[in-house]
Chains A and B, each alone.
Chain A
């Protein structure tokens, strides 16, 4: 059976200057997980959104949790997903 992989989706406001944060998070995940990621999906959206889903489960939302997530929070969520564990609770607001 092939090893478990993780798809990470980052929805970011494309008119809010969030590109650097989005790309920094994507880069951190690429470095941390290489082939353990099946895909990183970047979705340009509106109105201040910044949401990160791991394996289809929302792990961070700017609307819900405030601010941008710490990279380690998302790395922990991906690690948990890869291990078949529940994804950790949302990060604290910055």
Chain B
């Protein structure tokens, strides 16, 4: 069942979403503050002939929401052309189930772009494929450099705690190093969606 304008307008604004967050709010806001948008990318959104409606599905516990929602959260006010309305995934399963990843998984965040007549022009789900691929590549390289971390598919529980703590720190470092790349990838994917629909 298509999302009606009425249903869309019932969603939370971006600020209302942030206000209701019970966890990870500090990290979310830090991520939002850290987003860098190239002038060329911003122009693609600012130059849209009409504002677009963007339905967002998210939850405050989800790592990909914390990483990627702030990106569109910055693009919206910076461009003045994205009207965001946010829904909590677990409270709106009927909406979520219209946008399953691969038709199966309730992956979030989801950003669904609609024109003014509420026709969908495109969607973003979870994270860009290139981010997943780079993350996998870096994890494999980490395992190669640190045999004590085991192979990428070694059960984590098999590692001694002190090794696991080092592995965890190394993974956090990889994530931190990838932020600029990941944010740019998200912006490019969103730009491709709006340019297709323009």
Residues of A within 8 A of B (CB): 9, 11, 15-17, 19, 41, 43, 45-47, 49, 51, 53, 56, 58, 61, 63
Contact = CB atoms under 8 A, between A and B. Distances in A.
A6 to B, nearest CB: 13
B153 interface: yes
A56 to B, nearest CB: 7
Contacts of B158: 53, 56, 58
Contacts of B164: 43
B157 A16 contact: no
B32 interface: no
A41 B157 contact: yes
A15 B156 contact: no
Contacts of B59: 17
A30 B155 CA distance: 23
Interface residues of B, number: 16
A41 B135 CA distance: 27
Contacts of B155: 11, 51, 53, 58, 61
B118 interface: no
B171 A63 contact: no
B156 A16 contact: no
B62 A16 contact: yes
B156 A63 contact: no
A59 B90 CA distance: 29
Interface of B: 59, 61-64, 66, 90, 135, 153, 155-158, 164, 168, 171
B63 A15 contact: yes
Q: Which 3 A-B pairs have the closest CB atoms?
A: A15-B63, A9-B157, A53-B157
Contacts of A56: 157-158
Given A11-B157, A61-B155, 4 more contacts: A15-B63, A45-B168, A58-B158, A63-B153
A11 B168 CA distance: 13
A43 B157 CA distance: 8
A55 to B, nearest CB: 11
Contacts of B135: 47
A16 B64 CA distance: 9
A17 B168 CA distance: 18
A46 B62 CA distance: 11
22 contacts: A11-B155, A11-B156, A11-B157, A15-B62, A15-B64, A16-B61, A16-B63, A17-B62, A17-B90, A41-B157, A43-B156, A43-B164, A45-B168, A47-B135, A51-B157, A53-B155, A53-B157, A56-B157, A56-B158, A58-B155, A58-B158, A61-B155
Contacts of A53: 155, 157-158
